[in-house]
Amino acid sequence: MNRNSLYFTGETETAIKSTPLEPEVGEVVVETRVSAISAGTELLVYRGEAPTDLPADETLEALDGDLSFPVAYGYAAVGDVVSTGSAVDDRWQGRTVFAFQPHQTRFSADPETLIPVPESVSHEEMALFPSVETATSLVLDGRPRVGEEIVVFGAGVVGLCTIGILSSFPLARLIAVEPLSNRREHAREMGADVAVPPDALDDVLEPSTGDCDGADLVYELSGHPATLDDAIGATGYDGRVIVGSWYGEKPAMLDLGTSFHRDRISLESSQVSTLAPESRGRWTRSRRGETAVNRLRDLDVGSLVTHRFPFSEAPEAYRLLDERDDDVLQVLLTYS
């Protein structure tokens, strides 16, 4: 049995290769229906901006090895179980499932690593599960409190999903900062009270409650290192900055000589592969995943899908994302 797999073969170069598939007795074979491209992490790999000595993801069985070329990468596949190994419960046969797998026409997997797709969630919506799970993790790490003013820098897919979850909290204001006008409109639709370009943030950050200058909680989700300075600058005394962006090998040159030190601002990284230590007493990856699926039902993630490409045209999909067309949000690969 063979499969066609997408490989990153060099800077801005991809290729589709036929590779053997040899499922074990404890695995199922899944025919892929749709997979989602991460415009953040995958573009770093595509552009050669990801550290090549870094493991692809030590928490995902399907992503072995490091990020050096050539590498098969991706982690958002939805498909149908078409066969089961002799050691697998026959009830898996025919199920539609989500898997953290690279882009490929079919794959084998241990059923325990799969998430059955709920009947109320479409295949395309389920392909956005990693973005919603990341957003769920960001909100858990940020620990938003009632009456707080929160600023989210970056209204890409993860930023918009984070805004959607945060909008369910009783906040004073939820502000999105995004240079692209169509993404600001999406931010408002996902629940932001205010959505402004970066140069207009100071105009809306005037004290809105009491005498607290600046935001209580700020998320940096733009993917641009220079934005981290803006995020710190928007944070008030004793405020928190959650950095969800992964910059890869792009350096972040921070100016920490102004208000950062005296204002006791906390700067914290957030990454979905692990749970924050203070959360591990009550939270597990399984519980977070279930919570993300529930949020997936509530959020209008289908509206974030702007482009679909047949798997055979995957190189064109990455070229489109690399050009950063203003109209591009979530790009999906489809499989017939």
Work out whether strand 235-243 and strand 266-269 pair parallel, antiparallel, or are unpaired. Answer: parallel
The pLDDT score that the predictor gives to residue 58 is: 54
Quick check: 122 pLDDT over 70? yes
Asked if 246 and 221 touch (Cβ cutoff 8 Å), the reply is no
SS3 for 292? Answer: helix
In order, the DSSP letters of 7-55 are: EEEETTEEEEEEEE----TT-EEEEEEEEEE-TTHHHHHHTT-S-TTSB
Q: What is the pLDDT confidence band of residue 268, given thresholds at 50, 70 and 90?
A: very high
Q: Hey, what long-range contacts does 200-203 have (CB within 8 A, 24 or more apart)?
A: 201/151, 201/175, 201/177, 201/230, 201/234
From start to end of 122-214, where are the E strands? 149-153, 173-177, 194-196
**Has residue 211 got a pLDDT over 80?**
no
CB 30 within 8 A of CB 12: no
Position 300 pLDDT exceeds 90? yes
Give the model's confidence band at 180: pLDDT under 50 very low, under 70 low, under 90 confident, else very high: very high
Q: How many CB atoms sit inside 10 A of residue 72's CB?
A: 19
What integer is the mean pLDDT of 156-179? 98
What residues contact 303, with CB distance under 8 A and at least 6 apart?
Answer: 186, 189
Q: Looking at the chain, which runs of residues are DSSP E strands?
A: 2-10, 13-20, 28-37, 77-84, 96-99, 106-109, 115-116, 149-153, 173-177, 194-196, 215-220, 235-243, 266-269, 305-310, 330-334
Each residue's pLDDT tens digit, 71-111: 999 999 999 999 999 999 999 999 999 999 999 999 999 99
- Mean pLDDT (the chain) is 93
Residues in contact with 250: Cβ distance below 8 Å, sequence separation at least 6, in sequence order: 49, 225
Q: Which amino acid is at 160?
A: L
Model pLDDT, residue 326: 78
Whether the full predicted model's pTM is greater than 0.75, yes or no, is yes
CA distances from 154 to 117, 128, 175 (A): 29, 17, 11
Domains in the chain, start-ordered, CATH in brackets?
2-127+300-334 (3.90.180.10), 131-278 (3.40.50.720)
Whether the predicted pLDDT of 43 surpasses 90: yes
